[in-house]
Chains A and B, each alone.
Chain A
Amino acid sequence: LCLGTTRNNFEGKKVIHLEYEAYTSMAETEIKKICRDVRQKWPSVKHIAVHHRLGLVPITEASVIISVSSPYRAESLEAVMYCINTLKASVPIWKKEIYEDKYSWKENKECFWENSEK
């Protein structure tokens, strides 16, 4: 199980809350691709659940949850890591951090084209 919860600060600035938006239809397709990959790589996996909140998410609350079940704990843990890492690299969801006086669109370091174009 991986539960992503919001930190209340970034570089000394106080985070008031997060806002998420998504290219919903494509995000669902990309998440389904991740699930298919998981089943190919770890055939023992039984159930997979990926849930991502959209809109306003207050601090301390969870914005993403990934759950994988398998008879083998090593495989379920590896599959969860794969899901969250691949989600961060390829699923079209965007996070805006709202501070007291301004906001900032975040960028995942995993974002696959940010690394390849420089």
Chain B
Amino acid sequence: FSSGRRRHREPAAEGCPPGDGGSMRCQQVSVLYFARSAELAGLRSETLSVPRQITSLQLWEEIVKVHPRLAVIRDQVVFAVQQEYVLLGDQLLVLQPGDEVAIIPPISGG
């Protein structure tokens, strides 16, 4: 797992006001949906504006605000942030513009 890319003292920002995509406190990230999460969200990818520093659980909650149907899979999913798996929880993320965040339902390859 990634243990969080950088540790900062300031608390995670509360939310992104509309039109705040370019500010210091919010970032545009690319969100990718797969398998069941793509069916529930109704799309495969989009750009969302989220706080630059945010816990993985808070990030999930931001995404569920946009796609409430995703709530049913909360206990089954993890994220992949810049292709590193991240559990939903207290792990602090520091997001860069254009970072890729993928919703990863339980996998079934092989």
Enumerate chain A interface residues (CB-CB to B < 8 A). Answer: 4, 20-23, 25-27, 29, 52, 63-64, 84, 87-96, 105-108, 111, 113-114, 116-117
> Smallest Cβ distance from B11 to chain A, in angstroms?
25
Contact residue among B32, B78, B87, B109 (Cβ-Cβ distance under 8 Å from A94): B109
Cα(A22)–Cα(B78), bound, Å: 15
B63 at the interface (CB under 8 A from A): no
Q: Is the CB of B106 closer than 8 A to any CB of chain A?
A: yes
The residues of A that contact B34 with a CB separation of less than 8 Å are 21, 23, 92, 94
- Chain B interface residues (CB < 8 Å from chain A): 32, 34-36, 75-76, 78, 80, 83, 85, 87, 102, 104-110
The one of B36, B87, B105, B109 that contacts A117, using a Cβ cutoff of 8 Å: B87
Closest to A111 in B: B106
Write out the residue numbers on chain B whose beta carbons fall within 8 Å of the beta carbon of A63: 110
Minimum Cβ distance to chain B for residue A38 (Å) = 16
**Cβ contact within 8 Å between A91 and B107:** yes
Q: Which residues of B contact A90 (CB under 8 A)?
A: 85, 107
Q: Is the CB of B32 within 8 A of A107?
A: no
Considering only CB atoms, which chain B residue lies closest to A22 in the complex?
Answer: B109
Bound complex: CA A90 to CA B36 (Å): 17
B2 to chain A, nearest CB (A): 13
Return A43 CB to nearest CB of chain B, in Å: 25
Residues from chain B with Cβ under 8 Å of A111 in the complex = 106-108
